Structure 1
């Protein structure tokens, strides 16, 4: 742990943590966006060595206070939770027309280049969806973006995908026009992208070029949900995602703390486990598949401990139901963790019991549970929080679930309640290497100083 860390284990028991409350610990993470009849195989030699992509938070450089950053991210996260839940419920309704509305938004931007010669742009990283897309000329309608809009006519490697191609058929609602396969994706904040499905050469880390990556070339893009970048890169489990198209079974990310100044990282291929074995305890749990939402990364959460108390949460609380509802997903684009309400109320009750501070009921911070800090306090003792996944007991450092702001005189729990689906958010994942192994169908947590990767 860095020398300026605000949290340390109690000398008498690891179940309590000393929390320095007078310096704000913030939850949001700063981190550095001719027709083809068949899709040629990717040149795997280009990615066997793996590559690393810096990430930055979408609100970085916006001159927001730390609590403003948190509140902005929570607003996006709550909206995202609502869309996830609606998608799952719609998928379980056989009478519903399958015109999915995707969660959209996200918290991190990744930089990459597209085309020949390569044109650089930033796109939102999203583990909750599959399609890769960017805005393209000629735009019927485009939102403002910080980089020039991609012009397919200026790239020698651009090729449209035919309607008969497998990747066209992998779209949720493909359509066919004279120029080839077309797509339409709509998002929960009323943003949308519509255009042609094509293949291009994508360049990562300014040196690893991968040809024939399928992506959406959006010519009609509406709304403001993506204007921090120029599109989106899906890292879900479906065939259109970057992970699936690269054919590499492992990827990972490592998210720095909000008070850090260095970028977070996305690591692909052989670099995905670059931080494993450096001393941190590896906790590994199975990735669960939901047939009604095959792109999402579900985990089996079996219990939660606060301090020395294993909470009396019903075993079925986080279980996937037969209709595909319920369960818990891990998501890079949701800021705080949202738990099924019955479980969250038990967590809240136990924190109130163990934290010897008055509860703040003003709602000023926008979080479900906050405490009033005593005047002049330098440290506050908080209980250890442990998530018990199938085969993995994940002990969270204090800054991954409790924040404080001396100017507001508040200390708040970085969690909220949900109805139906639960989400393990990115605040709880900060300063951990989170490794997805799609061959073994596992996910691993490795405590890591992410700014040192």
Structure 2
């Protein structure tokens, strides 16, 4: 009898081990990708066909600037149980890309367009019951209709997962206040998410992902009904980037942005769905306590073949939380800390003066960029490139990603701006380069690629 019980228990253990191994293998084989929906593309729910490429550029530029109205250090902004994030207000027109996901199971399954943000810690959508919700075109998520939905519970013995959540009535709550007065609050929850897989329209479902179920959200400005929330890919443990490590992402996600104005489709890829071709370089990601952005080390800049020779520490993170250089696909164009921007602008001014190009007043041409020139015949041969000298790597930015060409007005402008607190590599300069973020190795890999060919999931 004892031997029979022992054999039965052993059999059950073997079955459990086999099931666990099968699930582990299946997770490692899972191939995930999201279509990146550029807000000015025909596939965007807020697409306006009446805008020209130049108008799209200027609108994106103006609205993207609000991303830089932010405190330098999230830790210094903690007040009681509230946390003011280092991110801007969450308004559709202030982000460049959205993704489409489903949340819930059964009759509670709803599809949502979410803003994509590589600098946020918590993904969220608006949920019923709504104490105060902004108007969105997609239905509010109803937790009662999704059998798989659960609130994340807490107690004195079982605290909330991070210090910036607080335990109320045995549930973990969040309250995020943004710099312009926008805010969102709700309960930390779990449910199943559906993503487009590598098999076309087929959805891949992942169980039990942590997200925020917001019941009280106020946004400054009009978002025109989209998006329905946020997908966070920052460095926090509860961001999707970290959570998907356990679901086949191998701790890696990647994107390749087509040039702004292109209607080509591109994808946010995870794990084995990432293919890096050609010359791949890597540079370390520098983690910073309380900050969820992907900081890397920028040492110097070259214009053409001329190295500018910035003093050590020009782009370093300062003790007061300012400074540093980070990669942000949500920022429209690159910003350089003001002294560095002025040095680069002087070098470009000297370069084009030597080439006998005529500098013009940007304000006269209704652009927010800071320095522009008139076209000359065969101007393309006169354009310099830029090299970012990173820790252990050199990132080359070709002239087409360095300047905005305004053929309608006969000018071209330097497509970067100054910024007082820090420097950021924006989407305009990231075009036609594949970026792969490896969270387990804490490194950023990049390689040149024609991103208009990144059209298959």
Q: TM-score, normalised by structure 1?
A: 0.83
- Secondary structure (helix, strand or coil) at the match of 1:411 reads strand
Measure, in 2, the Cα distance between the counterparts of 1:160 and 1:136. 12
- Structure 2: gaps spanning 5 or more residues: 1-22, 42-46, 197-201
1:358 counterpart residue number: 358
Q: Deviations over 1:259-306 (max 9, x none)?
A: 3222221001221x32x13xx32121111122242x221110011100
| Larger RCO, structures 1/2 (Cα 8 Å, 6+ apart) | 1
With over 3 angstroms needed to count, the CA separation of the structure-2 counterparts of 1:335 and 1:191, relative to structure 1, is same
State how 1:47-126 maps to structure 2 within 5 Å. Answer: 48-60=29-41, 61-63=47-49, 64-83=51-70, 86-88=71-73, 91=75, 99-101=83-85, 102-105=87-90, 106-117=95-106, 118-126=109-117
2:270 counterpart residue number: 268
Q: Is the 8 A contact 1:46 1:209 kept in 2?
A: no
Q: Is the 8 A contact 1:290 1:324 kept in 2?
A: no
Measure, in 2, the Cα distance between the counterparts of 1:250 and 1:167. 29
Q: Is the 8 A contact 1:47 1:210 kept in 2?
A: no
Q: Deviations over 1:329-379 (max 9, x none)?
A: 1111101111111111111111111123222214221101211224x7674
Q: Is the 8 A contact 2:254 2:436 kept in 1?
A: yes
2:204 counterpart residue number: 208
State how 1:182-261 maps to structure 2 within 5 Å. Answer: 182-205=173-196, 206-223=202-219, 224=221, 227-247=225-245, 248-261=250-263
**Aligned-residue RMSD, C-alpha:** 2.3
State how 1:383-398 maps to structure 2 within 5 Å. Answer: 383-398=384-399
Q: Is the 8 A contact 1:298 1:330 kept in 2?
A: yes
Measure, in 1, the Cα distance between the counterparts of 2:289 and 2:339. 25
Q: Is the 8 A contact 2:283 2:390 kept in 1?
A: yes
- Secondary structure (helix, strand or coil) at the match of 2:132 reads coil
Q: Deviations over 1:409-440 (max 9, x none)?
A: 22011111111211111111112110011122
With over 3 angstroms needed to count, the CA separation of the structure-2 counterparts of 1:154 and 1:92, relative to structure 1, is closer
2:374 counterpart residue number: 372
Measure, in 2, the Cα distance between the counterparts of 1:52 and 1:305. 35
Q: Is the 8 A contact 1:339 1:418 kept in 2?
A: yes
1:154 aligns with 2:145: yes
Measure, in 2, the Cα distance between the counterparts of 1:166 and 1:386. 50
Match of 2:329 among 329, 332, 339: 332
Measure, in 2, the Cα distance between the counterparts of 1:413 and 1:198. 45
Q: Which structure has the highest helix share of the two?
A: 2
- Structure 1: gaps spanning 5 or more residues: 1-42
With over 3 angstroms needed to count, the CA separation of the structure-2 counterparts of 1:414 and 1:327, relative to structure 1, is same
Q: TM-score, normalised by structure 2?
A: 0.82
Higher deviation after alignment, 330-339 or 406-415: 406-415
Offset at 1:229? 1.1
Measure, in 1, the Cα distance between the counterparts of 2:178 and 2:48. 24
With over 3 angstroms needed to count, the CA separation of the structure-2 counterparts of 1:52 and 1:155, relative to structure 1, is same
Measure, in 2, the Cα distance between the counterparts of 1:147 and 1:92. 36
With over 3 angstroms needed to count, the CA separation of the structure-2 counterparts of 1:168 and 1:107, relative to structure 1, is farther
Q: Is the 8 A contact 2:284 2:444 kept in 1?
A: yes
1:174 aligns with 2:166: yes
- Secondary structure (helix, strand or coil) at the match of 2:342 reads helix
Offset at 1:70? 1.6
Measure, in 2, the Cα distance between the counterparts of 1:175 and 1:103. 26
